[in-house]
Homo-oligomer: A and B are copies of this chain.
Amino acid sequence: MRITIIGSGNVATHLAAAFKNAGHRLIQVYSRDMQNAALLAYHVGAEAIDDLKQLNPETDLFVISVKDDAIAAIAAELTRYQKLTVHTSGATDLQTLAAIIPKAGVFYPLQTFSKTKEVDFWTVPLCIEGANEEITWELEQLGQTISNNVNRISSIQRRVLHLAAVFACNFPNYLYDIARQLLEDDQMGFDLLKPLILETAQKIQDNLPADVQTGPAVREDEKTMAAHLQMLDNEPHLKQIYELLSQGIIKNKNGGH
């Protein structure tokens, strides 16, 4: 397929590389910032542009991978080409494109991407949605050229999925940072916790999280929890987090969110 990438952020970068590796032809990479466009374009053998007027109409697919707020404006510029056009956003409805582009879809890779870290794209869950069955099918075929984990996910489902991903990824990462800060305050290195963090994530690959919950809250070990809260006396925000999450673990254990 001939593919044009609109955007040069983390998702655009990893997706473009995966398409390239699968043998697709990357035609152009657009970014408002020419340096960013040029860097990604160089990596995937495409032309870099920083003006949408320079778009080459000889393409099969526009991939819009920009900030959520910018998707609608970009889509308005692409409507005239009448090409298959997808966005890659977890938080944006299909309708944002489909309202103005007939061949619209969503191609959302559910993963946390950083430019500096390689990702095995074959394992990345791709969440596909098309404005009609033909488009959905076409995107599914495309998805299967880069991932073994292609899923049909509606806009309503994707919204929930995106929220769930915040709980499963963004919030745990913040908690890792709290842990790091606590250790640093007592002259201990974050390395001490890395095996624990990895094992916690590995455990739930084959177990339900509720079945492998450990720690003072699930044991309702009031003495340890009281000692922990006392240690957080000078950190009211952390104390609040500790209380709220511990309450949740206890509630969860006794059934109910």
Contacts and interface: CB of A to CB of B under 8 A. Distances in A.
B111 A163 contact: no
Interface of A: 10, 68-69, 91, 110-112, 114, 116-117, 119, 123-125, 127, 149, 151, 153, 156-157, 159-183, 185-188, 190-210, 212-218, 221, 223-224, 227-228, 231-232, 235, 237-238, 240-242, 244-245, 247-249, 251-252, 257
Contacts of A192: 110, 125, 127, 151, 161
Contacts of A123: 195
B205 A198 contact: yes
A172 B170 contact: no
Nearest to A240: B244
B217 A177 contact: no
A124 B198 CA distance: 11
Nearest to A89: B224
B111 A195 contact: yes
A174 B252 contact: yes
A157 B201 contact: no
A191 B205 CA distance: 8
Main secondary structure of the interface of A (DSSP, over half): helix
21 contacts: A110-B192, A112-B212, A114-B203, A117-B207, A125-B191, A127-B192, A156-B186, A157-B186, A157-B187, A161-B192, A165-B179, A169-B197, A171-B172, A173-B204, A173-B209, A174-B209, A174-B217, A177-B213, A194-B205, A235-B257, A237-B247
B177 A209 contact: yes
A174 B110 CA distance: 20
Contacts of A231: 159-160, 163
